[in-house]
Structure 1
């Protein structure tokens, strides 16, 4: 399994998005730090994935299209839009995806590509937030539209709709 980190606003949403994809083995939800000046703990996930099933480029594309990749709201850096790389070759792959995204959309992507430094998990009560109760109002309002988007635009890698997968 390969690993990559994603930050893009609320980690409950980010976790739910990546848990909905084929080839993703595990999603750890919590807080990630990078190097200064991005060393403030930010909400994020670490995605463990099988590159034979889903590519890093596809994961990065899903990330850019399911959160505000061009937004600047991030009080104290806590919600920064970022992709945290574990290896140098990941940096180049992700940078190409971001450049394609910018060219396609004509928007400025503020998603940073940062080296992964450290991770701490969220409290256990927040882990698997969507899977444990997808009927929460927060899930219906914020996560369901992202999952609908994945099913429409990334159907070939979306897990079947229905009850949450077993934990």
Structure 2
């Protein structure tokens, strides 16, 4: 039996990111909130912490899904709020995530997504956690989250719960 691991990711609205990872096999829990890097512990960005079973879904697959479900290729005016990042908890995880991003960049596209050591976490208030699951018919869900879930259905169907 594999030990549950965790990784932080961010890049877009945490409502969207939370929903994407909640639909994946092997993901035990998703914590929605605000994450800082170890470099800037007082600067927080929207993100989630994904608790996953690496025997069911590995780090590379999680990173691939993350890169395809947010704007990971370009900067935009809200980057100060939505850092395109993978937040790691160990030296081994940091190295693995960097290697995955380097390899994927060489394969096709240069991502702006960076790897950081996890700093701190502040959980979102209860009212906005599980945003999609509480009411998937909301206009925000239809406009922004459904297209991301469609990407998973099209490109990662074997990983859907």
Q: Using structure 2 for the length normalisation, give the TM-score.
A: 0.92
Unaligned runs of at least 5 residues, structure 1: 160-167
Q: Which residue pairs with 1:142 in the alignment?
A: 144
Please, what is the CA RMSD of the aligned residues? 1.4
Alpha-carbon offset, residue 77 of structure 1: 2.3
Q: Which residue pairs with 1:119 in the alignment?
A: 121
- 1:89 aligned counterpart, secondary structure: helix
| Pair 1:12 & 2:15 matched | yes
Q: Which runs of 4+ in 1 moved over 4 A?
A: none
- 2:67 aligned counterpart, secondary structure: helix
Q: Using structure 1 for the length normalisation, give the TM-score.
A: 0.89
Q: Match for 2:61 among 58, 62, 69?
A: 58
| Cα 1:2–1:102 shift into 2, 3 Å | same
Q: Match for 1:31 among 9, 28, 34?
A: 34
- Contact 1:5/1:83 (<8 A) preserved: yes
Matched residues, number: 158
Q: Which residue pairs with 1:132 in the alignment?
A: 134
Alpha-carbon offset, residue 104 of structure 1: 2.9
Alpha-carbon offset, residue 6 of structure 1: 0.3
Unaligned runs of at least 5 residues, structure 2: none
Q: Which residue pairs with 1:86 in the alignment?
A: 89
